[in-house]
Chain A
Amino acid sequence: MTRAAFGALLSHWWRNPLQLFTLLAGLALATGLWSGVQAINAEARASYDAAASTLDEGRYDRLVARDGGAFAQDNYIALRRAGWQVSPMVTGDLNGVRLIGLDALTAPSGMGPVSLGGGTDLGAFLTGSAQVFANAATAARLDGVEVLIADDLANDTAVADIGTAQALLGREGLIDSLLVMPDQPVGLPALGEVAPDLTMQAAQGGTDIAGLTDSFHLNLTAFGLLSFAVGIFIVHGAIGLAFEQRRGMVRTLRALGVPLNRLIGLMLAELLVFALVAGVIGVALGYVIAALLLPDVAATLRGLYGADVSGNLQLRPVWWLSGLGIAFAGTLIAGGSALWGISKMPLLAAAQPRALAMAAGRRARWQLVVALVLLALAAVLVFTADGLVAGFAMLGALLIGAAFALPPVLNAVLAFASARAKGVTAQWFWADTRQQLPGLSLALMALMLAIAANVGVSTMVSSFRLTFTGFLDQRLASELYVSTDSAEQTAALISYAETEGVAVLPIQSADVQIAGHPAEVFGTRDHATYRDNWQFLQSSAGAWDATFAGQAVVINEQLARRAGLALGDPVTFGSVTLPVAGIYGDYGNPVGQVVLVEDVFATEFPHVVARQFGLRISGDVGDFVNDLTAATGIGAGQTIDQAGIKAVSLAIFERTFTVTTALNILTLAVAGFAILMSLLTLAAMRVPQLAPAWAMGMTRAALGRLELLRAVMLAVLTAVLALPLGLALAWVLLAVVNVAAFGWQLPMYLFPLDYARLGGFALVAAVLAAGWPAWRLARTPPGDLLKVFANER
Chain B
Amino acid sequence: MNNGSDPLIRLSSVTKVFLTDEVETHALSGIHLDIRPGEYMSIAGPSGCGKTTLLSILGLLDTPSDGSYSLKGHEVANLSFADRARIRNREIGFIFQSFNLIGDLTVFENVELPLTYRGMAASERKSFVTEALDRVGMAHRAKHLPSQLSGGQQQRVAVARALAGRPAILLADEPTGNLDSRNGEAVMQLLKELHENGATICMVTHDERFAQHADRTVHLFDGRVVEDRMAA
Q: Do A and B come from one complex?
A: no
List chain A positions with a Cβ less than 8 A from chain B: none
